[in-house]
């Protein structure tokens, strides 16, 4: 019996899919990824369906609005926030209908606190990242909002074990002091690893669910994720150069969502489950861990989101991930 909150040999998506039809996207996910489906995100629908707008929509008592094409903290809720909430409600209605009777693990995604802090503007200008007090308020607000969101999902799909994915693409830049100011002539302060872990942990401890942190970057801050009590980390395998931190994380019991399937066709070909499984097996062998642990500790995913891929390729890719998960289970 695995100690991980997902079935052995599972595969899932990162989150985003192409198109604007949530009913069709949900059908594809539930059909191709039955062991670990996720709530699809469709950014092509526009503001409020994008990573930052959707993530900011979870904030409690911190309304946002679009101003000059950017999301910023607002004085009161307005039309932009209503649109964001309406899109999410439609998505959850589809999930309720199509996942009726589902009893497995279900993944939900949201932007993490540091990516929101690096992307949302203060009313007076500049990112929230510039103000440690604003970052603290943002984190507390997001923690409460996601706690409510997951409770809502559990009511709608009562048989599911809910897994939360926090998307943190901006965290490496935050840690390195590489988030540019509005002028582009300087960058915001460097955030220490302990401070980064502390804010992440605030969210993780609030939601009462296992959390996987997703970050597609070469300088993957694994220690921060471990210190924040994440249950797993999701990454693009092609960007990982130093395997030692990965080995230490596996030894410490961190789950891996390995992005081993290309998000675009390679040389015009279709994704091959055998090749995806082999990439994951080779990684595991290089790290020197027992083969029996591989299907339990690893979930196979696309390298990143799929919003820019064709619908036909997405279906083939998710099918290949699912088949690759089955293959790595054959010890």
More confident position, 234 or 185? 234
Sign (positive or negative) of CA dihedral 78, 80, 83, 88 = negative
The stretch 52-75 carries a mean pLDDT of 96
What pLDDT is stored for residue 2 in this prediction? 56
Residue 269 has pLDDT above 80, yes or no: no
What pLDDT is stored for residue 266 in this prediction? 76
Q: Label residue 205 by pLDDT band (50, 70, 90).
A: very high
| CA dist., res. 74 & res. 143, Å (int) | 19
The stretch 174-192 carries a mean pLDDT of 92
Q: Is residue 46 within 8 Å of residue 26, measured between CB atoms?
A: no
Tokens for 177? 């002091």
Q: Label residue 278 by pLDDT band (50, 70, 90).
A: very high
Residue 236 host element (H or E): strand 232-236
Work out the burial of residue 236: count CB atoms within 10 Å of its CB; fewer than 13 is exposed, 13-18 middle, 19 or more buried: buried
What pLDDT is stored for residue 184 in this prediction? 78
pLDDT digit string, tens, across residues 212-227: 999 998 899 999 999 9
What pLDDT is stored for residue 176 in this prediction? 96
Residue 195 has pLDDT above 70, yes or no: yes
| CA dist., res. 47 & res. 83, Å (int) | 8
User: Running DSSP on this structure, what letter comes out for residue 303?
Assistant: S
pLDDT digit string, tens, across residues 280-312: 999 999 999 999 999 999 999 999 999 999 999
What pLDDT is stored for residue 331 in this prediction? 62
What pLDDT is stored for residue 6 in this prediction? 97
| CA dist., res. 256 & res. 259, Å (int) | 9
The residue length of the chain stands at 331
Residue 104 has pLDDT above 60, yes or no: yes
The stretch 320-324 carries a mean pLDDT of 97
Tokens for 189? 């302060």
Work out the burial of residue 69: count CB atoms within 10 Å of its CB; fewer than 13 is exposed, 13-18 middle, 19 or more buried: exposed
What is the distance in angstroms between the CA of the first residue and the CA of the last residue of the chain?
16
Percentage of the chain modeled with pLDDT above 90:
92
User: Average pLDDT, whole number, for the chain?
Assistant: 95
The residues pairing with 255 across neighbouring beta strands, listed in sequence order, are: 232
What pLDDT is stored for residue 270 in this prediction? 78
The stretch 132-147 carries a mean pLDDT of 98
Residue 268 has pLDDT above 70, yes or no: no
| CA dist., res. 80 & res. 73, Å (int) | 12
**Domain map of the chain by residue range?**
22-328
What pLDDT is stored for residue 197 in this prediction? 98
Q: At what angle do helices 132-156 and 79-98 cross, to 10 degrees?
A: 30
Residue ranges in 103-131 assigned as alpha helix (H): 113-117
Give the β-pairing of 64-67 and 70-73.
antiparallel
SS3 228: coil
What pLDDT is stored for residue 3 in this prediction? 87
What pLDDT is stored for residue 1 in this prediction? 36
For the CA atoms of the chain, what is the radius of gyration? 19
What fold characterizes domain 22-328? TIM Barrel (3.20.20)
Residue 68 has pLDDT above 70, yes or no: yes
Among candidate residues 200, 287, 207, the one with its CA nearest the CA of residue 252: 287
The pTM (predicted TM-score) of the whole model is 0.96
Tokens for 14? 């990162």
Give the count of beta carbons closer than 10 Å to the beta carbon of residue 76: 7
């Amino acid at each position: 019996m695995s100690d991980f909150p997902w079935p052995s040999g599972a595969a899932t998506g990162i989150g985003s899919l192409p198109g604007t039809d949530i009913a069709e996207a949900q059908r594809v996910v539930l059909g191709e990824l039955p062991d670990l489906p996720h709530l699809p995100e469709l950014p092509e629908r526009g503001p409020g369906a994008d990573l930052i707008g959707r993530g900011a929509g979870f904030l409690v008592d911190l309304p946002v609005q679009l101003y000059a094409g950017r999301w910023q903290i607002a004085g009161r809720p307005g039309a932009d926030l209503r649109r964001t909430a309406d899109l999410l409600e439609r998505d959850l209605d589809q999930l309720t209908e199509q996942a009726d009777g589902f009893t497995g693990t279900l993944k939900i995604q949201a932007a993490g606190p540091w990516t929101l802090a690096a992307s949302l503007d203060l009313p007076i200008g500049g990112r929230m990242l510039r103000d440690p007090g604003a970052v603290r308020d943002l984190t507390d607000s997001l923690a409460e909002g996601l706690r409510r969101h997951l409770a809502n999902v559990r009511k709608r799909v009562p048989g599911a074990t809910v897994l939360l994915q926090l998307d943190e693409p901006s965290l490496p830049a935050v840690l390195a002091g590489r988030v540019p100011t509005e002028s582009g002539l300087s960058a915001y302060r460097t955030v220490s690893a302990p401070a980064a872990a502390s804010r992440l942990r605030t969210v993780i401890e609030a939601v009462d669910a296992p959390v996987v942190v997703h970050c597609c970057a070469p300088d993957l801050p694994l220690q921060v994720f471990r210190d924040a009590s994440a249950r797993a980390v999701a990454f693009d395998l092609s960007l990982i150069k130093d395997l030692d931190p990965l080995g230490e994380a596996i030894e410490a019991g961190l789950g891996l969502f390995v992005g081993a399937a290309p998000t675009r066709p390679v040389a015009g070909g279709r994704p091959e489950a055998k090749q995806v499984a082999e990439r994951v097996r080779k990684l595991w062998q290089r790290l020197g861990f027992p083969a029996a642990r591989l299907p339990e500790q690893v979930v196979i995913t696309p390298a990143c989101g799929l919003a820019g891929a064709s619908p036909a390729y997405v279906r083939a890719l998710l099918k290949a991930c699912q088949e690759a998960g089955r293959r790595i289970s054959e010890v």
